[in-house]
A = this chain, B = another copy of it.
Amino acid sequence: MKRPTLEAVAARAGVSRATVSRVVNGQSTVTPEIRDTVLRAVSELGYVPNSAARSLVTQRTDSIALVISEPATRVFSDDRLFSMVVRTVSSELESSDKQIVLMLASSPRGHERVERYISSGHVDGVLLLSMHGADPLPAALNRMGVPVVSYGRPAVAVALPYVDNDNVGGAGAAVRHLLATGRRRIATIAGPQDMIGGQDRLTGYRDALRDSDRRSIVAVGDFTRASGADAMRQLLEDDPALDAVFAANDEMAIGALRALRRAGRRVPDDVALVGFDDIEAAAYTDPPLTTVRQPIVEQATAMVRLLLTPAKDRVTDHIILPSELVIRESA
């Protein structure tokens, strides 16, 4: 009752193991007649190649790891981002018949697990989702000689191929939109400065303001809703006359929205508000949030392409995709 092997198929078809292997792997140096005989034996016995044996000799596994390296609390702060990435990566890999191994590395123990797993040759490549600049995992994976592509620019120290959205440009577009609609005192709630996204979005804000000779007004949050509310209160205290806010992500924007309402400011009449990411909830706020959308599908597609292109054939080791301003009612 155990699974048939190559040997069994060979015996049944009256040929050698090697010939069956050739047929199964689609080599053309087999007489059509024998080929048919073998294929018949294969389907009669219900033969399926043993993947462990195969990858033991080929050194390939036909699967890639999708590593999500974030504290458990944050990973899924945006379920849609996650599910869109997974869906896109999955369908993109389908054509090359590779599988996804999903690894959530939330704790240091998780990191160690991931490293062990990858270095035991389980996968042919790694897609790394890690928003945190200080994460040691990218460097570690890079060291073990497995192809790795990162979602989001990794910390400067690591030379890793990556795909990112245009954080600087997106933030700039948000600020320019505020300027274009006549806002004069534009503050920002920046993200944590140990994350690349946090840094770049602040840079985009600063650059855009500098171009227009406006003064920058900055508070720093940590990408959580509560920190957005706190930062907003801080900003209102510092500069009660501000008339616009660019929050570095939607969660903080939602926090800011509540803080503004509690402070008696109307949005967008008194204060215009723009977020970043276009998470699900952004469409349901009151008023619906104007925000910057990441091109998630395109990013995921690009990651897979980059991963599947052998390093030596690569034209570039990073791809930056444009972000799009989604104008709703908050600005």
Contact = CB atoms under 8 A, between A and B. Distances in A.
Interface of A: 3, 48-53, 55-56, 61, 63, 66, 72, 75-76, 79-80, 82-84, 86-87, 90-91, 94, 97, 99-104, 106, 110, 113, 116-117, 119-122, 280-281, 284
Nearest to A61: B52
CB-based closest 9 A-B pairs: A284-B284, A79-B79, A52-B56, A79-B83, A52-B55, A51-B120, A76-B83, A48-B119, A90-B104
A86 B72 contact: no
- Main DSSP-derived SS at the A contact region: helix
Contacts of A101: 63, 99-102
A72 B100 contact: no
Contacts of A82: 79, 83
A119 to B, nearest CB: 5
Contacts of A280: 79, 280-281
A102 B85 CA distance: 13
A81 to B, nearest CB: 9
Given A52-B55, A284-B281, A102 B121 contact: no
A253 to B, nearest CB: 15
Contact of A113 (B55, B97, B116): B97
A72 B99 contact: no
Contact of A121 (B50, B76, B91): B50
Nearest to A87: B76
Contacts of A76: 83-84, 87
A69 to B, nearest CB: 13
5 contacts: A48-B119, A51-B120, A72-B91, A76-B83, A79-B280
Given A63-B101, A91-B104, A280-B280, A52 B121 contact: yes
Contacts of A61: 52
Nearest to A50: B121
B79 A102 contact: no
Contacts of A48: 116, 119-121
A78 to B, nearest CB: 9
A86 B121 CA distance: 23
A47 B319 CA distance: 35
A142 to B, nearest CB: 15
